[in-house]
Amino acid sequence: MGLTLYEKIWNAHRVLDGDDGQSLLHVARHLVHDGSVHAFQFLKEKGLAVRAPDQVVATPDHGISTRSHVMAAITDAEQRRVVERLVENTQAHGILHFPLGDPRQGIVHVVGPEQGLTQPGMVLVCGDSHTSTHGALGALAFGAGASEITHVLATQSTWQRRSKTLRVRVEGERGAHVSAKDVILAIIAKLGSNGAVGHVIEYAGSVIRAMSIEERLTVCNMSIEAGARAGMVAPDDTTFAYLHGRAYAPKGALWEQALDHWRSLPSDVDARFDIDIALDAHALQPMVTWGNSPQDGLPITARVPNPQDEPDSEKRAGMERALAYMGLQAGMALQDIAVDQVFIGSCTNGRIEDLRAAAAVARLGQAKVPVLVSPGSTQVKREAEREGLDQIFKQAGFEWRESGCSMCVGMNGDLVASGKRCASTSNRNFVGRQGPGSRTHLMGPAMAAAAALTGRLTDVRSLVK
């Protein structure tokens, strides 16, 4: 029997098997951000050094200000402290650091791929749940808690329980203006928020193969929202072309050696998956969420669901709570829902292709509500400005900011006020995610820009023909 991509990487990195069913895996790359402060503190308390500092890379993203990239702009004292500690910890342990003011700084899940730090066949770990993003380049990437991160820092390895495998094939051809964000929202709606628990998802099919790396990054980013441990796409010529020449990608003879290895990684033809499902791309439409979970996604042409139509009493009660929190009525047309503000950015949709898609809509009119645009990295910001995208946004009344996690996490000063409704390109619409009492609708960049121009959830296809 053949092996899956996941199984090949697992086997290659397994150091030993424990008595409790877990295996010790070598970690090829460890990415660190300002939220890793507790792990460094635990390391210090135990009197331990970083085992392999040359395999660790750090950049601040969660708590930094998007108004300015000077330390003084971080008004929250605790957030400023952890960003300052990241500087101290990386210097103390000899870790490569892209600090504020460095052109390589950005959201860790944007920086890893764009710098060539994320590579096929790696086991990659970061103290953030959306580490699954990096699987788009054929890596096994997952998030870890503070105690696990401490273990990785000290040993460059991690204890993990082997996951089951789930393949999602998306076949056919996407319709006009159906983005990668729409594809993953449709997948999550099909699987449910717990549908992939205990599994690693491999995304496959003609639609996935036709996607750019940035689109694949969006898809893999939200794997965790279906409960998966990780999400992956087999490396191919698109992957290799993306990585070639990037700062930390292999060079010269090492590049050729890497290619030989990377080409051996895709799942074998006779590999077996524990679950195998398919989606018809022809049926996909631009998506938005209505509730407090990414699984609450519907085509923009739909209506708010009626809890009374749900036979399961527990699910029905959850839907009623969500509607009450979101201030919505069953049966409302999604396109009749007015928004108070718009956020474009995050590790899900803050890359250059995302900004281009949003700008293509923004150039068609003027914002009717406040809009905040935060690039995923300083490199993305500079490229957007080189292309003039920043001027398009500004002329449309959008606010152009620095890079960072921004409004996705609501812990850095970028917030949605209580009771206010935000059209957001981020990855989570949980209760209070963008601020206490905030109401979040998830969607793709073009859809968010459309909402900005109309002041309501809008089918972008009605604006862009």
pLDDT per position as a tens digit, 148-160: 999 999 999 999 9
Q: Report phi then psi at 140, rounded to 5.
A: -95, 105
Nearest residue to 389 (alpha-carbon basis) of 360, 425, 366: 360
Torsional class of 435: left (φ above 0), alpha (ψ -120 to 50), beta (otherwise): left
Reported as a pLDDT band with limits 50, 70 and 90, residue 27 is very high
**What is the rounded distance in angstroms from the CA atom of residue 156 to the CA atom of residue 175?**
44
235 closest CA partner among 256, 207, 204, 206: 204
Scan for tokens 């964000």, then name that residue.
181
Q: Quick one: pLDDT band at residue 381, thresholds 50, 70, 90?
A: very high
CA distance 356 to 73: 28
pLDDT of 1 over the 90 cut: no
Q: CA-to-CA distance for 258 and 139, rounded, in angstroms?
A: 13
Alpha helices by DSSP H, listed for 222-269, are 237-243, 253-262
Q: Domain-by-domain residue ranges, the chain?
A: 5-275, 300-462
What integer is the mean pLDDT of 320-327? 98
What pLDDT, on a 0 to 100 scale, did the predictor assign at position 24? Answer: 98
Provide the percentage of residues in the chain whose pLDDT is more than 90.
99
What does pTM read for this prediction?
0.98
Q: Which residues contact 198 (CB under 8 A, 6 or more apart)?
A: 163, 164, 227, 229
170 forms bridges with which residues in the sheet?
279
Token pair belonging to 316:
């029905």
Compute the average pLDDT of residues 188-198.
Answer: 98
Dist. CA 127–CA 49, nearest whole Å:
18
Q: What does the pLDDT read at residue 465?
A: 78
- 9 pLDDT above the threshold of 90: yes
C-alpha pair distances (Å), 151 with each of 85, 328, 463: 19, 45, 51
Pick the CATH number of 300-462 from 3.30.499.10, 3.30.230.70, 3.30.70.60, 2.120.10.80: 3.30.499.10
Q: What is the pLDDT of residues 423-455, one digit of tens each?
A: 999 999 999 999 999 999 999 999 999 999 999
Fold type of domain 5-275: Aconitase; domain 3 (3.30.499)
Check if the beta carbon of residue 356 is closer than 8 Å to that of residue 376: no
Average pLDDT of the chain, as a whole number: 98
Q: Can 5-275 and 300-462 be said to share one CATH topology? A: yes
DSSP, residue by residue, 413-462? S----TT-EEEE-SS---TTTTSTT-EEEE--HHHHHHHHHHTB---GGG
pLDDT tens-digit series, residues 239-296: 999 999 999 999 999 999 999 999 999 999 999 999 999 999 999 999 999 999 999 9
Q: What is the pLDDT of residue 93?
A: 97
